[in-house]
Amino acid sequence: MAKQDYNLDTVLMDFSSNGHRAAWTVRNAVEGVQIFGGIGSGKTSGSGRTLALKYLAEGFGGLVLTAKHDEKQQWQEYCRITGRSGDLIIVEPDGTNHFNFLEYESAAAGKKSLTMNIVQVLKTVINAGQDKSGATQSDDSFWQGAMDMLLANTIDLCLLAYGKVTVQLLYEIAQAAPKRIAAQQPAATTVSKDAKAGSKDTKIPEDPFRLAYRLAMEKTALRVAAWKAKLSPEDIGKIKNNHEFTRLASDALPDVRTMGFINNFFTDTYRNIAEKTRSIIDFNLLGFLNNLLRDPVYSLFCRYSSNFTPEDSLKGKIILISLPVKDYHKVGRDAQIMFKYIWQRAMERRRITENGLPVFLWADESQTFLHEHDAVYQATARSSRIATVYISQNLPNYFAALGGKDGDYRVKGFLGTLGTKIFHANADIETNNYASALIGQDFFKKENHSRTVSGEFSTTKSHSWELQSIMRPEKFVTLKTGPGNKGMVEGVMHVQGKQLTKNSNFKNVSFNQHYITRKK
């Protein structure tokens, strides 16, 4: 059961020593944690395990994303140790838990903002899969705008024709959208005074687009007819022509205006885009939707009604998406990024005054699950009480995931939103330089000696102060790992705004790979 009020000063780890009080609290946890460490450094089994057990013991709900196939068993063990097995919701192929993201977005958003909410979800996942190695189309506003318009108009057509949105309908309509080489073109959207529906073209078989378009036109025409029936003869007499009638109908009925946008987009704008340009846009959208239509993703996130939602985390549930990227590759990655983004938005909507329970977002191999809005969400995670824990080997992993134009600023800006950094043994130069620079510099006393022999031997001693790195980059290579150290691994912990020792906000910390916490 979720706690309605929660003390953010609850101590999770105590580093007090020599009379200096230093506690790492829930308040620090919701400021975010980034863990770096090379292969075998103990980043997952050391500091990662400790934090996971601490969060579970405190009753946090959360979301766990999986990159490796053993993470499900790992979290089952964590929940067993902390008495939280009953709170674990495992989303996996052939399992009993399902989440219909379109059904959920429809209920959460309401009809007015449904289209753009779905656009944002789909576009975020599609963009996360783009190559960020350079200035590609993902950096070009044209490609972003074209994708937005295609998604929005396809969703709107789906809603007008069928009153609902499904992945199957989106895929079929987008795939059959008119092309430049096609002769057929839907009728114009000018509505006559009689508001008659367009007749069905029996000569050309109706593909999914033409069928949806006809149904949307017919339903729109019926709404116009109903609206017209309420007009007085005097009002009708004042209408000079069909163009003015359509304008008035558009003002009175949003569906008429929407239908006009759909018609203009598919029969003019999109239809006449250069073939090569259009093929790239189609490939990005249809490729993604095609993956959603394939199992196990289709059964888990599209086919059945939801029997759990992101809000279950606010009740203390731990949602684990068991589609490890090592096994399911891009399909598993895309599905998890999609749920992560929806989950983040849900956690941002919650009211802390009604439910103050902290929740955690957990991602090992975190570079795999990043999307373009992560920095924005992480910047406000503290006020939403989201305790993010991202675990990765090194900085270059993030540069590869968030690269492109201004990639260096994106990565370092994103890392700046995570208040606690833990650095384990690492052989990556760039990561070690970053850690050294983060810890900072100080003045160190340097002894100078000089000797002279002029008749007799003499020695002169002096000293000077030099500004040097407090912890040299090469020191991180020597941090202890588990093998040979009885399961104890070393990490350098840096916390913004908190002195872990008397004069510094960093500390060498040992983590036990066999740590077991108490049950709450």
**Region of poorest pLDDT, from 71-80, 232-241, 507-516:** 232-241
**Region of poorest pLDDT, from 146-160, 373-387, 389-403, 463-477:** 463-477
What CATH number belongs to 11-97+308-512?
A: 3.40.50.300
CA neighbor of 73 nearest in space, from 322, 265, 301: 322
Q: Compute the mean pLDDT over every residue in the chain, rounded to the nearest whole number.
A: 87
In the numeric block, which tokens belong to residue 429?
Answer: 């130069």
In the numeric block, which tokens belong to residue 102?
Answer: 């379109």
Cα–Cα distance, 380 to 416 (Å, whole number): 12
What crossing angle do the helices spanning 101-109 and 114-128 adopt, rounded to 10°?
140
Question: What mean pLDDT is predicted for residues 414-426?
Answer: 95
Question: What mean pLDDT is predicted for residues 106-123?
Answer: 79
**Torsion over CA: 483, 487, 490, 495 (sign):** positive
The 10s digit of each residue's pLDDT in 316-340 is 999 999 999 999 999 999 999 999 9
The 10s digit of each residue's pLDDT in 217-269 is 999 999 988 988 888 887 777 777 777 788 888 888 889 999 999 999 998 88
Residue-range domain boundaries for the chain: 11-97+308-512, 111-290
Give the contacts of 205 (CB within 8 A, at least 6 positions apart).
Answer: none
Cα–Cα distance, 238 to 49 (Å, whole number): 75
> CB–CB of 444/470 below 8 Å?
no
**Of 269-283, 457-471, 489-503, which has the strongest mean pLDDT?**
489-503
β 318-321/61-65 pair status: parallel
